Amino acid sequence: MSSPYGETNAKGKYSGRDYNSDKAGGPIQDLDWKTATIDREGVDKVKLHTGRFAESDANKIMIDRLEKILNGEMQPTDTDKRFYTHEIRELERYRNLGIKDGIIPDNQGDVWNNTHTATLEDYKINERNEPLYTPDAIQAAEEQAKREYL
């Protein structure tokens, strides 16, 4: 199959997304985001991984939430746990592909789609039902897209 994200050979059972399972940084694992404990090491990994992408208002909001959780200012929601575990696992998949931290690969769209989709499958997530971002982060992303489009 051909897609905007390059050649694909699989469709995610949970995500419903097309991806290339041979280029996803390893096989699908049976992981559970519900048991996540948010800690400094993990938040630093989230920052490291998301820092490789274009500046994102949505990611800033989610990382700020993680910092507040670490500081005891709020309790983690399911969305916080999904975002946290997803970004850490996606980082692992990038590393498994040999992509150094902080580096944006030439085939960024393909790599992101394959690792993102495989990570959704690891955690059995369909983003429509179990979002990785809070409503305010999603709104911030939409507003950022409008600003950048104009």
pLDDT at 117 over 90: yes
H helical segments located in the chain: 40-50, 57-70, 78-96, 108-122, 135-149
The structure's pTM equals: 0.94
Model confidence pLDDT, tens digit, residues 46-78: 999 999 998 999 999 999 999 999 999 999 999
List the domain boundaries for the chain: 2-149
pLDDT, position 97: 98
Give the per-residue pLDDT at 6. Answer: 81
User: Mean pLDDT over residues 91-120, rounded?
Assistant: 96
User: What is the model's pLDDT at position 3?
Assistant: 59
User: Quick check: helix, strand or coil at residue 72?
Assistant: coil
6 strand-pairing partners: 3
* Residue partners of 93: CB distance under 8 A and separation at least 6: 24, 25, 26, 115, 118, 119
Q: Which of 125, 139, 108 is nearest to 5 (CA)?
A: 108
Is the predicted pLDDT of residue 150 greater than 90, yes or no? no
The larger pLDDT score, comparing residue 19 to residue 149, is at 19
105 pLDDT tier (thresholds 50, 70, 90)? very high
Spatial contact of 39 and 93, defined as CB atoms under 8 Å apart: no
Q: Is a pLDDT exceeding 80 seen at residue 127?
A: yes
CA gap 9, 18 in Å, rounded: 7
Average pLDDT of the segment spanning 109-131: 97
**Residues sharing a CB contact under 8 Å with residue 56, sequence separation 6 or more, in sequence order:** 50, 141, 144
Residue 132 and residue 79 in contact, taking contact as beta carbons nearer than 8 Å: yes
Flag whether pLDDT at 130 surpasses 70: yes
Output the average pLDDT for the chain. Answer: 95
